[in-house]
Amino acid sequence: MPDNSSVTPATRLHLQPHLGMRRVLPSFGWSLALLAAGCGGGAKTGAAPAGPAPVKVTQVLPLDQLVVLEMHGPAVVDTAVTITPGKPRIVIVRHAAPDNNVFAEVDFPATVFAGDSTRDSVVVTFKAQPNLYGLVVASDAKFGKGARITFKYPVHFQAPANAIARYGSAPAFERALRVAALQEDGRYGLLVSSRPSTDNLSAPIPGPGTYLAAAPLGQTTQ
């Protein structure tokens, strides 16, 4: 069974407003390939390969072309965990007490760190972005396949003014949200995302990096 035991608060990352968001959300050395529209060709025969869902990007946009989901209420407690390679772990990142609502859940199946037999532990940290649904995930080891992030916003969802202007309503904005991943060039890749339950936004992630819940200001590429 996955380990989802309690975790240890880490040092909080404070944004510097005068620098702008892109200056303080570094990428972590990986990039994502754009999923070309209409790719895939004809139907393929045979059973689909087993394994975790692949990481796919539908659109790449600069930050100023995204509407990031805002958050109201208590701050989020930054978190650090130690994971044993080869064992599954579910990390719960929460709002501060006495609220304690879940902000995000990050799932690490046994496959994520199983490839390095020389390590007996991996340290992963999670730093939330103030007033935004954004999370910086850092690790002292590379990820294998299978990690997944799920943002949870049943209580603290706040649509910014430009979201209402663009989408017409908060529910329409919520339907347009995707998990966005910071790339090496400073732009964000919109990941193929799902909603495992109401007010949850989820996507597979390729590794350490910065992830936002966001929607495009312009037309979405499906």
Average pLDDT, the chain: 82
Q: 101 and 155 in contact (C-beta within 8 Å)?
A: yes
Q: 135 and 12 in contact (C-beta within 8 Å)?
A: no
Which pTM does this prediction carry? 0.79
Q: How confident is the model at residue 118 (pLDDT cuts 50, 70, 90)?
A: confident
Q: What is the pLDDT of residue 214?
A: 98
Provide the token pair at 26: 């570094």
Q: Which range among 24-33, 65-74, 210-219 shows the weakest confidence by mean pLDDT?
A: 24-33
The pLDDT tens digits of the residues spanning 39-83 come to 444 444 444 445 677 889 999 999 999 999 999 999 999 999 999
Q: What is the pLDDT of residue 54?
A: 82
Instruction: Quickly tell me which residue has 């529910």 as its tokens.
Output: 171
In this predicted structure, the answer to whether residue 24 has a pLDDT above a threshold of 50 is no
Q: What is the pLDDT of residue 119?
A: 87
CA neighbor of 208 nearest in space, from 112, 87, 130: 112
Q: 213 and 153 in contact (C-beta within 8 Å)?
A: yes
**How far is Cα 113 from Cα 158, in angstroms, rounded to an integer?**
35
Which long-range CB contacts under 8 A does 44-49 form with residues at least 24 apart? none
| Share above pLDDT 90 across residues of the chain, in percent, rounded to a whole number | 70
Q: What is the pLDDT of residue 45?
A: 46
| Share above pLDDT 70 across residues of the chain, in percent, rounded to a whole number | 75
Q: Which range among 17-26, 113-122, 147-156, 182-191 shows the weakest confidence by mean pLDDT?
A: 17-26
CA neighbor of 102 nearest in space, from 201, 211, 210: 201
Query: What topology is assigned to 52-216 in CATH?
Result: Chondroitinase Ac; Chain A, domain 3 (2.60.220)
**How far is Cα 39 from Cα 149, in angstroms, rounded to an integer?**
26
DSSP class of 202: E
CA neighbor of 53 nearest in space, from 107, 121, 101, 117: 107
Query: What one-letter code names the amino acid at 42?
Result: G
Q: What is the pLDDT of residue 115?
A: 78
Q: What is the pLDDT of residue 1?
A: 52
Q: What is the pLDDT of residue 218?
A: 80
| For residues 87-109, average pLDDT | 97
R_g over Cα of the chain: 17
